[in-house]
Amino acid sequence: MNPAMSDRTERVRAAMAQIWEEHRDQVMERVVFLERAAALLEAGPLEAGVREQAERHAHSLAGTSGTFGFPRATEIARSVERRLPSFDQGDWMTQAIVELRQELELPASIPEVAIGGPQEVATERVLLVVDGDPLMLQSISETAAPRRLRCVTLSTPDEAAAALAADPYPHVAVLGWEPGGRGKKTLQLAARLAGMSPPVPVIVLSEGGAFTDRIEVARLGAQRFLPRSIGPQRVVEEVERLLDPLRFDGMKVLAVDDNPLVLDTVRALLEDQRMTVDTLADPRRFWDVLEEKRPDLVVLDVDMPDVSGVELCLVVRGDPKWVHLPILFLTAHDSPEAIQRVFAAGADDYVAKPIVGPELIARISGRLERVRLYRRLAETDPLTGLANRRRLVEAMDRLTRLSERYDKPLSVGVIDLDHFKAVNDEHGHAAGDAVLVAFARLLAGAFRGEDVVARWGGEEFFVALYGAPRDQAARRVAEVLKQLQGLAFKGSEGSFSASFSAGVAEYPLDGNDLHTLYRAADAALYDAKTAGRARVFTAALDEGSAPASALPPSSPIRVE
Amino acid sequence: MKKVLVVDDEDHIREIAATSLEVVGGWTVVTAGSGAEALSKAESENPDAILLDVMMPEMDGPSVFKALRNREETRSIPVILLTAKVQAAEREQFSDLGVDAVLAKPFDPMTLHQEVAAALGWG
């Protein structure tokens, strides 16, 4: 910061401190009012007038505290404001106001250098988990911990209802539910969470999955219904999906309208959702821009000079390459004839002008969610749920770039199940599939984070380990081999065990792209097979493959 | 030099906004503590922009804005609403009124002038 700027910053800072000192009492009067209201609330619902005044005071504190260096006070006041209309009893408010007063009595925390906007998004997300099974609570909590999710685990809906009164306000909730009388309170809790402002997304975990149960849960506003058997990993994945503010990150929308004001509005709304927005005011350039930008969704104005939106839509639908592109119309006429005309041209949806922000966002997000889902399906191996080769190509591209930029090692392993054909022949294809699925699960559990696990095809798998040099990667793959050999599978001819052979290569020593790395690792794999299977070899620079260096050369990693 | 009218019923917020815009932004600032005062100052001071708090007793921000737009003398002055509402939907309502921008409260005194300048396209 230059001297003039830092001098000005100092002056503002001094002014903040001084103004705060002068007006502190006035601000604290609001706190006193809230304290009184909180005491009343413990006894029962507030009179409408008192409640409204309390809301106003909380609102004002929320809007001002942060400016003077009390961001936490802003959060607390905001949560009080939000809850006042619906939580009409209890001591939640007393607790909150005690904390609010404490915050405001602390010295202001004014950042040294002003960074970012006035509303920094809190990075830690709070996950509320309510379930009668302590093991479930523990396993979800452990899975969530490394993902910047703070778990509040409680065993009954009553406890949760009490906890909701106190901060922290959960960002998302997972509720264990059993249909029937005992589940009533859970449903009430779900309804309450869904009715909060902003609504807390709810995931319901349930033993059954009857259609009527699902409807009951969906009616209350719950977002997901998952079987209890699904496992903590998948539950946390769903949690992340619901929370992810970046879920539309990088998804591309092209908006075409001859009115620049509309384009600006659409852009502002969608960029707020982290979508990438391209706008075009001249429909005659549409085709070029479409080919160049390759959007995931197109927004078209119906009435434009030269070429109308309906005509553009017809052109898009006339090209097999773009048949699946979602198209949403903006229309000033929502007469049945006009609407029929856009749908007949191949529109997926329409939004009437003037644009209402939340509606536009809801409609576009819904479409993009679907696009993402299809894309994911197309990149996922249906049997094992692992990435398929298509996604692998993309992921390797990313990992090699990361490896270069941060100068970190990157190794890949090609893994092939031993005697897999014999398993299929002797024990049947169902048993073979079971081995593939179990093995995929082992792999997915063994490698995390930046690592990539994919099914290459048939009984061949591919892993990429970011941050691991060749030898270390080989040791980790050998660990999985040990685990696999510990599993017993049931087949038509009795139980059997499985093993694999693997070759490991390092970027860029053994190859500088997926293709050459695969070849190097595959050569090592071949050597591992001919050396007797059930072992991991590393690619060696000159003299062919070497047994994984974790063990002396005479005894390749091998577990019987 | 730009002249900005800051309207907020809360003294401390008005003062810190004024200080921030004067010291950091180098602008001239006039202030008003109520909607009525805002309307008269908008006319007498003829500011380049008005920063208007949404929630004020008697005459709230949106009503002040409508009144400003209904008067010939003040019709063309750019207006920025300041609101502590966090929901996108709530803020949307305000921009639908036709104001030039909606800024969030609490604001950061160090960057308020940048946000105002950016919202109004002041170079």
pLDDT of residue A251 exceeding 60: yes
Q: Which of B14, B16, B22 to mutate to test the interface with A (most CBs of A within 10 A)?
A: B16
Say if residue A104's pLDDT is above 50. yes
Please write the tens of the pLDDT for every residue from A363-389.
888 788 888 778 777 888 888 888 898
**Burial of residue A183 (number of CB atoms within 10 Å: 0-12, 13-18, 19+):** buried
Chain B residues inside the 8 Å CB shell of A361: 88
User: Taking phi first (over 0 means left), then psi (-120 to 50 degrees means alpha), and beta for anything else, what does residue A147 get?
Assistant: alpha
Provide the CATH topology of domain A253-376.
Answer: Rossmann fold (3.40.50)
Name the CATH superfamily housing domain B3-120.
Response regulator (3.40.50.2300)
Name the CATH architecture for the domain at A3-105.
Answer: Up-down Bundle (1.20)
Q: Give me the half-sphere count of Cα atoms (radius 13 Å) on the Cβ side of residue A273.
A: 25
Query: What is residue B6's DSSP assignment?
Result: E
pLDDT band at A338, cuts 50/70/90? Answer: confident
Quickly tell me which residue has 């576009």 as its tokens.
A364
Does residue A107 register a pLDDT over 80?
no
Confidence of residue A21 (pLDDT cuts 50, 70, 90): confident
Domain ranges for chain A, please list them. Answer: 3-105, 125-243, 253-376, 389-547
Whether B108 and A117 lie within 8 Å, measured CB to CB: yes
Q: Which residue has the higher pLDDT, A228 or A284?
A: A284
Q: Does A27 touch chain B (CB under 8 A)?
A: yes
Predicted pLDDT at A281: 92
- The per-residue pLDDT for range A213-239, each reduced to its tens digit, is 888 888 777 778 888 888 788 888 888
Taking the CA of residue B49 and the nearest CA in chain A, the distance in Å comes to: 21
Establish whether this prediction's ipTM goes over 0.90: no
Specify the pLDDT at position A215: 84
Q: Please answer whether residues B31 and B75 qualify as being in contact, where contact means their C-beta atoms are separated by less than 8 angstroms.
A: no
Domain locations along chain B: 3-120
**Which of these, A30, A125, A23, A114, lies nearest to A69 by C-alpha position?**
A114
**What is the per-residue DSSP string for A455-466?**
EEETTEEEEEEE
Closest-CA residue to A458 (of A393, A522, A395, A388):
A388
| Token pair for A75 | 């959060």
Is A417's pLDDT higher than 90? yes
Residue A453, H or E segment:
strand A452-457
CB–CB contact B12 A119 (8 Å): no
CA angle A163, A168, A172 (to 5 degrees): 90
Whether A552 has its CB under 8 Å from any CB of chain B: the answer is: no
What pLDDT is stored for residue A549 in this prediction? 42
* CATH number at A125-243: 3.40.50.2300
**Nearest-angstrom CA–CA distance, A204 and A559:** 42
On whether the CB atoms of residues A347 and A308 are closer than 8 A, the answer is no
| Residue-level pLDDT, tens digit, chain B, 123 residues | 899 999 999 988 998 899 889 888 889 999 999 999 999 999 999 999 999 999 888 889 999 999 999 999 999 999 999 988 766 667 777 878 889 888 888 888 888 988 899 888 886
**Could you tell me what percent of chain A has a pLDDT over 90?**
31
- A3 and chain B: CB distance < 8 Å anywhere? no
For the cut 60, the answer to whether the pLDDT of residue A117 exceeds it is: no
User: Comparing A308 with A447, which gets the higher pLDDT?
Assistant: A308
Q: What was the pLDDT predicted at A542? A: 45
Cβ–Cβ < 8 Å for A418, A476: no
User: What pLDDT was estimated at residue A159?
Assistant: 86
Of the candidates A61, A59, A73, A67, which has an alpha carbon nearest to the alpha carbon of residue A15?
A: A67
CB B120 within 8 A of CB B78: yes
Summarised one tens digit per residue, pLDDT across range A49-93 is 899 899 989 988 988 888 888 888 888 898 888 888 877 778 889
- Residue A447 pLDDT: 81
Nearest to A263 by CA among A195, A166, A343, A360: A360
Residue A532: predicted pLDDT: 93
B-chain residues within 8 Å CB-CB of A12? 19-20, 23-24, 109-110
Q: Using 50, 70 and 90 to split pLDDT, how confident is the model at A244?
A: low
Give the pLDDT confidence score for residue A303 in this predicted structure. 86
Q: What is the per-residue pLDDT for A166? A: 63
Of B12, B20, B84, the CB nearest to A20: B12
On the question of pLDDT at A167 being above 70, the answer is no
Give the confidence band of A555 by pLDDT, cuts at 50, 70, 90. Answer: very low
Strands (E), A289-409: 297-301, 327-331, 349-352
Least confident of A158-162, A373-377, A411-415: A373-377
Alpha-carbon Rg of chain B, whole angstroms? 13
The CATH homologous superfamily to which domain A389-547 belongs is: Reverse transcriptase/Diguanylate cyclase domain (3.30.70.270)
Q: What is the pLDDT of residue A120?
A: 31
